[in-house]
Chains A and B, each alone.
Chain A
Amino acid sequence: MAIAVDNPGAAGRKPRKNALSDGQGALAWLLTAPTLAVILFVVGIPIVLSVIESFYKTSNGIDPVTGMADTGTKFVGLENYLTALTSKSTAVEGVFGSLPRLLNAFVNNMFFTVVCVLIETVLGVAMALIMARAFKGTGLVRAAILVPWAIPTIVSAKLWFVIFQSNGVMNRIIGDQVLWLGDSAASQMAVIMADVWKTAPFIGLLTLAGLQTIPAEVYEAAKVDGATVWQRFVHITLPMVKPALVVAVLFRTLDTMRMFDLPYGLIGPNKYSVETLSMFAYNEAISQRYGAAAAYSILLFLLIVLVAFLFIKFLGADVVGDDESRARSEQRRRLRKLHKQQVNRTKAAQKTITSGESAA
């Protein structure tokens, strides 16, 4: 009964027409059509082509078995995916041991993503907390924080390239002789440091915006109730900043997963210690092995879709952030629930002959 009261329009009666907002569907589609058409042409069609491409193999030159000239493109099904994942002949020496090149790139990718995003989030939140406390110089900090963000990634790669030279300033500061750029675990550290520098301030900025929406009264009330600083942070700040933070972290995660410019510019192509999936796929593409390149890029694409899905499902990242869409999906959920209840009620009524109405 209570549910029916909540949904006066749900019982089959059509809601009253709203002259200011109904019947705009045609206009809306007309206005969004150009954008959707562009997206279809520059994203949709290429992705479909990429999927098709990934099932084909372009032979360049000589057939390895027969030794005959072979330049055709032939359908090979899932071979591009399977050989790359399993074949021992493609094994390379990365930081994580001898792995097939694709697997090595995948492990690097995940390692960079987890480590970078973790450090960036912690550092970013810390920066936001400091900025939120400060009453002076916020304009200056904001400008400073935008500097790493505004620098083109390839320029920042070259900038760290100079800093990380063996006789460069980083080694002078730490007083050691680390070969940062020598395709080793140290190269991974160099990439991580450069990436954190560029993007931690950005997370800080987004978190700060979230912090500033928390009303001060909430903190005051907690203070009156005797909450410690740590309790206030865990029970007020984090939950209230979570929606903004989760979206920021999601975007950073996806961004790190497709990392290309930074390792490419800082360490270089074909360096297995820092090779990411994007870099490996790129290398295959410019070598005109389109089939393999497409397969690897599709794998990366699926990986990103999966991670985005997990974020949205389990961390409740509200990426769309549109009230109307949210209201619509909630309405659908409510109606489904209502419908289920009605079905159950009818069933119950059919079972109990004495009473037509069961206690809902």
Chain B
Amino acid sequence: MTQQASMSTAVPAGPERMSKQELESLNKPTRSGKDVAGGIASLLGIAMIIIYCILPFLWMVISSLRLPSMGLSTDFIPNPVSVENYRIVFNAKNNFVTAIGNSILISTVTTLLTLLFGIVAAYALARLRFKGKALVLAIIIGCSMFPAITILVPLLKMFTGNYSWLPIDWMNQYQAVIIPSLSFGLPLCVWNLTAFFRQLPVELEQAAMVDGCTPITAFRKIILPLAAPGIFTTVILTFIAVWNEYMFAMTFLPGKEKMTAPVSLAGFTGDSAFNIPYGAIMAAGVVVTVPLLAMVLLFQRRIVAGLTAGGVK
């Protein structure tokens, strides 16, 4: 591969001296037996990775397509194939549709809030020079490292009106999950956007500033439009992170009307404790995951770029 690449850059120097056939034969990588074996091994490896990653998810899909009474069947093909579990999931009694609506609302609002705060902060961190930048960066990265349980304990006490200086009762109110979710959403957002802003050539703004723009106008007119893909990636990553959040949602929104989808599906119960609706839980899992997978498949390049932006420079 690498030889091929360096050849193709070297060849155009003297194309008139060689015929097309000669060029082609030179460009073709010579294949020895070792290469072929290596190729097969790497294909096998690739196949194994794909199977390893997909198979458990596939099992969830298969399990969701059985009859509700056959929840734990180990047949690899559901017999008969049935969508009865999905009917149970969307049965009004389970409130799952409301839960999905709640999840969408909470994830959207949180993502928008993090963007609102995060974009300007990320721009300052990526572009402006100021003392204490390392400290600000350390605080933000530190926020994505500390355990959520540490803030859950006081927040639980605060939101249930246990502090006399804060007479509020936020149990079963959306803000009780949206506000704590900022604690991990905001660092994620700022971090990604900072990495993205850094990749944009600084000369663009400098040129704009030489032409008389203030840093703010340069940001609004030059950087923001160019950063649109990065902002989009950040939106996806933050949305997924908030969508998948479980602990805050389980603690602060236990009521049927305000529950998020992950909490709702984890709480699916059957007629008795010994009658766990495996199929329905799997079907709900598929429903919760499919929107995320659609995003992942559509925007995989961007997502990978966003995920690796923090760690690799």
Contacts and interface: CB of A to CB of B under 8 A. Distances in A.
Given A35-B117, A130-B46, A304 B131 contact: no
Interface string A163-185: 10101110010000000000000
A159 B74 contact: no
A305 B141 CA distance: 12
Interface stretch (A85-93, A135-143, A230-238, A340-348): A135-143
A69 interface: no
B304 A301 contact: no
A27 B162 CA distance: 39
B152 to A, nearest CB: 6
Contacts of A209: 304, 308, 311-312
B262 A154 contact: yes
A159 B143 contact: no
Contacts of A156: 56
Given A152-B246, A158-B266, A159-B60, A308 B145 contact: yes
B49 A141 contact: yes
B206 A20 contact: yes
B57 A147 contact: yes
Task: Give the size range of A's interface with the partner.
Answer: 35 or more
Nearest to B244: A152
Nearest to B292: A150
Instruction: Count chain A CB atoms within 10 A of each CB in B72, B124, B134 and give the residue with the most.
Output: B124
Contacts of A142: 300-301, 304
B67 interface: no
Interface stretch (A96-104, A282-290, A351-359): A282-290
A7 to B, nearest CB: 19
A24 B215 CA distance: 9
A131 B57 contact: no
A267 B293 CA distance: 26
A297 interface: yes
Contacts of B251: 282, 286
Contacts of B224: none
A260 B148 CA distance: 10
Nearest to A140: B50
B296 interface: yes
Given A27-B215, A32-B125, A209-B304, A159 B49 contact: no
A248 interface: yes
Task: Give the size range of B's interface with the partner.
Answer: 35 or more
Nearest to B183: A42
B148 A258 contact: yes
Contacts of B296: 143, 146-147, 149-150
B117 A130 contact: no
Contacts of A260: 148-149, 246-247
A42 B282 contact: no
A169 B59 contact: yes
Instruction: Count chain B CB atoms within 10 A of each CB in A147, A210, A244 and give the residue with the most.
Output: A147
Interface in B53-69: 53-54, 56-57, 59-60, 63
B53 A244 contact: no
Given A150-B293, A285-B152, A29 B130 contact: yes
Contacts of B147: 257-258, 277-278, 297, 300-301, 304
Nearest to A194: B56
A197 B60 contact: no
Interface string B292-313: 1101110011011001101111
Contact of A205 (B45, B292, B301, B308): B308
A137 B43 CA distance: 9
A35 B243 contact: no
A320 B129 contact: no
B265 A155 contact: yes
22 contacts: A24-B215, A27-B215, A31-B121, A35-B120, A36-B136, A39-B183, A50-B153, A145-B53, A148-B53, A152-B292, A158-B285, A163-B56, A167-B74, A172-B74, A243-B312, A248-B311, A251-B145, A278-B149, A293-B153, A304-B145, A320-B137, A320-B138
Interface of A: 20-22, 24-25, 27-29, 31-32, 34-36, 38-39, 41-43, 45-47, 49-50, 53, 127, 130-131, 133-137, 139-163, 165, 167-169, 172, 197, 201-202, 204-206, 209-210, 213, 216-217, 219-220, 243-244, 247-248, 251, 254, 257-258, 260-261, 265, 277-278, 281-282, 285-286, 290, 293-294, 297-298, 300-301, 304-305, 308, 319-322, 324-325, 328-329
